[in-house]
């Protein structure tokens, strides 16, 4: 059974080689959809004999659906360029696809690493993600960010975790904060939210405070030390800077 591994990229040279090397354990077809990389991303993809498609990212949902449609495998494993699978997960996927039954997709637990530390609290583990999809029975929603997967059949759960090197350094931390804030602002605008005093209080004070409190206190993010604190701060700042991006977009 042919399996396709699907990866979205944009200036992903730091992590892509490890991602694709780990994926090769599955002997898959590799599909890379690139959003204008200017570093060595495409050279790395070529070295892994990936099928490369260049396409501007307008929304994560649409980009992933496009990538899924380029795949030739009956099943597709969707990975972020900073994710890796170890031998245990690769073996579990191989065994699962030999007898999938009526299941249309499988979710996997994901381990998130912040600044070289695996997070165990704050909602960061097991952080289930639906990633193994039967292409004929699944599709992505068109959401700008936090896209959903719609499946016609059952969704199963794998045991072994997928490793996500979320924020290896401060540069990546702030790059992703800016990216997520921009998409958050676009989503707010699309949903009809407009700048106002009430919304400023809502998105710059109430929602950030609640998100931080929920992850850091109620979900015990404080047990992960400084990396856990920074993970919770990132969630709160996404709300604040997302609203800031909304105010800029509303002026256009």
Tell me the pLDDT tens digit for each residue of 142-182. 888 889 999 999 999 999 999 999 999 999 999 999 999 99
Give pLDDT tens digits for 5-37: 999 999 999 999 999 999 999 999 999 999 999
The number of CA neighbours under 13 Å toward the Cβ of 172 is 18
- Per mean pLDDT, which range of 96-100, 126-130, 170-174, 242-246 is the poorest? 96-100
The percent of residues above 90 in pLDDT, for the chain, comes to: 94
Does the predicted TM-score (pTM) go above 0.85?
yes
88 Cα distance to chain centroid? 21
Sign for the pseudo-dihedral over CA of 81, 224, 87, 147: negative
Q: What local confidence, expressed as pLDDT, does residue 101 receive? A: 83
Sign for the pseudo-dihedral over CA of 48, 54, 56, 59: negative
Nearest to 208 by CA among 160, 164, 230, 240: 240
- Report the distance separating Cα 194 and Cα 107, nearest Å: 36
Nearest to 241 by CA among 199, 215, 203, 201: 203
Q: Which residues pair with 164 in a beta bridge?
A: 83, 112
């Amino acid at each position: 059974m042919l399996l396709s591994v699907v990866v979205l990229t944009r200036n992903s040279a730091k992590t892509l080689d490890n991602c694709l090397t780990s994926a090769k354990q599955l002997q898959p077809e590799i599909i890379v959809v690139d959003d204008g990389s200017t570093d060595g991303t495409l050279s790395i993809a070529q070295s892994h004999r990936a099928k490369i498609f260049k396409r501007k990212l307008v929304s994560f949902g649409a980009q992933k659906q496009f990538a899924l449609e380029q795949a030739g495998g009956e099943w597709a494993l969707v990975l972020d360029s900073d994710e890796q699978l170890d031998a245990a997960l690769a073996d579990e996927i191989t065994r699962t696809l030999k007898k999938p039954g009526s299941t249309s997709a499988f979710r996997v637990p994901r381990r998130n690493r912040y600044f070289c530390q695996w997070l165990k609290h704050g909602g960061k583990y097991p952080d289930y993600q639906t990633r193994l999809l039967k292409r004929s029975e699944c599709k992505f929603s068109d959401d700008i960010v936090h896209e959903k997967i719609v499946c016609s059949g059952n969704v199963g759960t794998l045991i072994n975790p997928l490793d996500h090197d979320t924020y290896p350094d401060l540069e990546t931390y702030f790059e992703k904060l800016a990216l997520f804030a921009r998409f958050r602002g676009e989503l707010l605008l699309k949903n009809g939210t407009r700048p106002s005093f009430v919304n400023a209080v809502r998105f710059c004070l109430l929602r950030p405070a609640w998100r931080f409190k929920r992850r850091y206190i109620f979900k015990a993010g404080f047990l992960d030390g400084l990396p856990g604190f920074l993970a919770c701060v990132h969630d709160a700042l996404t709300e604040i800077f997302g609203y800031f991006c909304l105010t800029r977009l509303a002026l256009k």
